[in-house]
Structures are given as structure tokens and as C-alpha cells.
Structure 1
Amino acid sequence: MSTEALSPRHSPWTIDSRTVVFGAVGAALYAVLGLFSFLIPGTQSVTVRPAFALVPFFGKRFGVITGFFVGFVGNVVIDLIQGAGLIWWNWSVANGLVGAFAALIFTAIPPISSETLRHVVTALGAFAATALGLLFTITDLWILGIDFNTFLFLNYLPALLANGIAVVILAPALDAAWEPLAKRAGL
């Protein structure tokens, strides 16, 4: 099994046909599967979205541009389909940043030969990328005119908890499922 996310021949910043194709596929998957979510009661429109695990996964496997594209475009499409329009643009940017940070985090980690350790590192890296990317939603302080406590306790922490659980469980599972497929396809 491979011990690294991006193959040595691919820079995390590369824009090529691979980046475009996987970005489009990832955004479409996230947009469709992201519709299967539910609202967390007592928050300001924070939802649990298991499909969110696709964002750090695509960032890890296909780079910064793909990760950002999957998170940003996928979230914009979900919001448009659900009728929210572009009101929550800053959350779409935050989703994109999660994918970009995932790519940067996993590029910085040296190859790991232990499969179990690789899954743990994938879970922790995906969670760290989620925590960092979602910090962009602090812009709600200015956009919505809310106070810091409202942002922290009704927006950021519930979103981090819900998405954090999804990425800690599902990102390593997606990554493990991708390994044999990538090997067979020569990716």
C-alpha cells in the first residue's frame, strides 16, 4: 500500500487535467451527498453533513486546488439547491479552506508505513484542517453582526464538532478504500 497521499510526481499546487477532473467529481459528490444532512437544534443553521469528509479526503489525495474547489463549489451548490443562495458565502470559503489546509497538512507529513498509524494520522490531519478552515467563519461577526460568544458557541464549535466527527470517522475510511483503487488505476 502507498504511504503517501500525493504521488511524488504531483505537487499539491498543480493545476492540470487531473486537478480539474477530480475537483469536478469531488464537488459533484459533495453537492449531492451533502444534501443528506440535518440541522443541529439550538444552533444558527449548523448542520451535520457526513459528506463533508469528502473535502479533506480530496485535499489530501489531489492537492490544494482540488481540495479548495471541492469544498467551495460543493458547498455553494448545496446552498443553492437548498434555497439559501449565496448568503453564506463565507461558509463556502471556509469549506474550501478545509480542503486546501488538508492538502498542505498531508504534504508536510512524511510517508508512514504502518497502516494503523496512517489512519490515525489521516483522522487527526483531517480534524486539524477542519478546525483551521472553519475559523474563516469568524467573519460572521461582521456579516451577521453577532458577538464573539454567539459565533463561538452557536456557530463555530457546533460546526467543528459535527464536521469533526464526520471527518475523524469517514476520512480515514475513504482514504483506505481509495488505496487499492488508486493502485489499480495507477494514480
Structure 2
Amino acid sequence: MFKNVLSIKTIVAIGIGAAVFVILGRFVSIPTGIPNTTIETSYGFLALMSIVFGPIAGGLIGLIGHALKDLIFYGSIWWSWVIVSALVGLLIGFAWKKIDIESGIFNKKKIILFNIVQIIVQAFGWFAAAPFLDVQIYAEPANKVYLQGVIAGVANMVTVGVIGTLLLLTYAKTRSKSNSLSKEV
């Protein structure tokens, strides 16, 4: 079982996914006006990778990608948010079998399921876990980090809802639909 979860394809996807997460997080993010809080396109990509490759890949891409981004561009790792990025990738990834993007079908029902999952996961991660960890690990002022969490969470829900959905729709079109092949007589 573990062999299937971490195939060579999945390991390569984790490496490439983490690198793309870093690049998007650095060069394709929009400041919100709230200190250290940006609108991140990288979470739309993380959601795609989580649905395509599953929870282990999603969690590791979030963990490695966010940690590297922080280290490279800020000089230190902000572990509370890195943990939440890993959690978001992991938990969205648990929907991979239900959504089954490899079937080539990403219809209205699956789009709604995907967005319900991502909104619940991100609400938990950014509204609760990230601010809680900021207070516990870094002794940050609660009012500051809960505001940052709400802004980041809402921004991530929107970017995943738009970018993640569009990426998944595009990816689904590259897959063969079940029963799409027929035998010529």
C-alpha cells in the first residue's frame, strides 16, 4: 500500500509541486494591506496537486513548498502557517478518490463537492489553527493573528474556488472519460 502512495510519479510530483508552490507564492501573490498577509495563487495549485496525487502528496507539497518559500524569501520559517499549508494540502487530498479527476469527469456535483471540502478545510486551517498556533508558538497578539487568519482564509477560499476549480476543469479535459472508447465493428 505505501509503495502505491509514494510511487516515483508521486515523489516527482511532490518535488515539482513544492517548487511551483514556492514560485507562485513569491511571484504571483497580491498584498492585502494586512501585514504579512497576501492573496496566494499557490493554494489553487496546491488543491490541484492534492486532488490529482492524494493527501500525502498534498500535505508534503504544502509543507515543503511553504517552508522553502519562507526560508528563501524571508530568511526564516513561520512554522504555524507552514503546518496549516501542509494540513490544507493533506485534508483537501482526502477528497481525491471521491472526486476521481482521473476519470475525466469534473461535473457540477464534483465542483460543488471540491469547493465544500476546500472551504471547510481552509476555514479550519486559517480561521482556527493558524492563529492558535501563532499565539502558542510565537506569542503573537491574538487580535492581530485572528485578523490575518480571516483575511488569508477568505482570500485562499476564493483563489482555490476560482483557480483550483479552473485548473481541475482543465486537467479533467486531458483525461479519457470512462467508457469514452468504443470498439469499431
TM-score normalised to the size of structure 2? Answer: 0.80
1:131 aligns with 2:117: no
Determine which structure has more spread, i.e. the larger CA radius of gyration.
2
Q: Distance in 1 between matches of 2:75 and 2:148?
A: 17
Give 1:63 shift: 1.0
Q: Which runs of 5+ in 1 are unaligned?
A: 1-9
TM-score normalised to the size of structure 1? Answer: 0.79
Judging changes above 3 Å, is the alpha-carbon distance between structure 1 residues 74 and 110 closer, same or farther for their aligned structure 2 residues?
Answer: closer
**Which residue does 2:14 correspond to in 1?**
23
**CA RMSD, Structure 1 to Structure 2 (Å):** 2.7
Pick aligned residue for 1:118 from 110, 115, 121: 110
Give 1:34 shift: 1.5
**Which residue does 1:156 correspond to in 2?**
149
Q: Distance in 2 between matches of 1:165 and 1:149?
A: 23
Q: Distance in 1 between matches of 2:71 and 2:40?
A: 16
Pick aligned residue for 2:90 from 97, 100, 114: 100
Q: Distance in 1 between matches of 2:89 and 2:170?
A: 19
Q: Retained in 2: the 8 A contact 1:123–1:171?
A: no
Letter in 2 for 1:91: W
Aligned residue pair count: 171
Letter in 2 for 1:117: K
Deviations 1:20-71 (A, max 9, x none): 0111121111111221213221x34111111221112211221111001111
Letter in 2 for 1:128: I
**Which residue does 1:40 correspond to in 2?**
32
Higher helix share: 2
